Amino acid sequence: MRKKLVVSLWAAAMAACSVQPPASTARVPDADPRFPGFLAGYLTREALVDSLALLPPPPAQGSAAQAADDAARRKAMRWRDTPRWQWAARDAELRFPQAAPSFACALGVPIAPTATPNLAILLQRTVADAGLATYRAKDHYKRVRPFVAAGESMCDPTHETMLRNDGSYPSGHAAIGMAWALVLAELAPDRVDALVQRGLAFGQSRVICNVHWQSDVDAGRLVAAAVVAQLHSQPAFVAQLAAARAEVQAARAAGLRPDSDCEAERKELLIREAL
């Protein structure tokens, strides 16, 4: 996520301190009117997970850990200009409704404002909570992204300029993807394997896209676990989680299925393709 967006999200997340009713029609403020589709999170700015305290420093130049990151980047380039590369570009999109289908196949039911409105809001609001939680470490370390360090391209050129000056460690997308997977697994525990695999693949897309190092992604997943645990202390989150669970159960009972090509997704996003 670009820096200007993050600053706006940080400011707006403070407005989320009051308990929001679970109804899908409840007014949840946009994070910033210039960025429609990004809603304020459930946590206040002060309550966000402190990623700087949580995480170790990123690998130092010349270290064995950095050498492993370099090797992972080179290995990931085997997916360049393949369908998996294209999936990585799709996974870069966090705006709704475009991002809504990302986990629908793993969940087994549609994720949309019409079919599952509370679930759609739940995922939109956790974008702010998980994504913003990475920025204390990001802003402190200001790690250079791999496509910049190597002088290469990345899978989503439309975001290249925005990402050049945005810190690489930890990965906000990886944190968001794993947070989504963990939250969804609570709604459909029988789908936990598919959902966590999708969360892992969502983060791995950032390595394949050449915008994050492997250690960035691994650290983002750790932030996600802390954020999801923390969210359970928020009454608004707990209420919306319960409403979303009822929607998933109703969608299953009605036989609703995702509109996505789930077989194509399964082939391209298998965990065995991860690094």
Closest to 15 in 3D by CA, of 35, 48, 44, 36: 44
Q: Residue length, the chain?
A: 275
Any catalytic annotation for residue 216?
Answer: yes
> Position of tokens 């999170």?
41
Of these residues, 125, 173, 191, 198, which one is catalytic? 173
Pick the catalytic residue from 73, 159, 191, 206. 206
Q: How far apart are CA 133 and CA 104, in angstroms?
A: 25
Task: Decide: 126 and 183 in contact? Cβ < 8 Å.
Answer: yes
In this structure, are residues 68 and 214 in contact, taking their beta carbons and an 8 Å threshold? yes
Sign of the alpha-carbon torsion through 223, 236, 181, 242: positive
Q: How far apart are CA 275 and CA 207, in angstroms?
A: 9
Alpha-carbon distance of 32 to 211, in angstroms, equals: 25
Catalytic, 206? Answer yes
173 in catalytic set? yes
Give me the amino acid identity at 157.
Answer: P
Are residues 19 and 179 in contact, defined by beta-carbon separation less than 8 angstroms? Answer: no
Are the C-beta atoms of 210 and 154 separated by less than 8 Å? yes
Which position among 73, 145, 191, 212 bears the catalytic label?
A: 212
Q: What are phi and psi of 254, to 5 degrees?
A: -85, -5
Distance CA 173, CA 217 (A): 8
The most distant pair of C-alpha atoms in the chain lies apart, rounded to whole Å, by 56
Q: Which of 69, 129, 216, 218 is catalytic?
A: 216
Q: Which residues are catalytic?
A: 173, 206, 212, 216
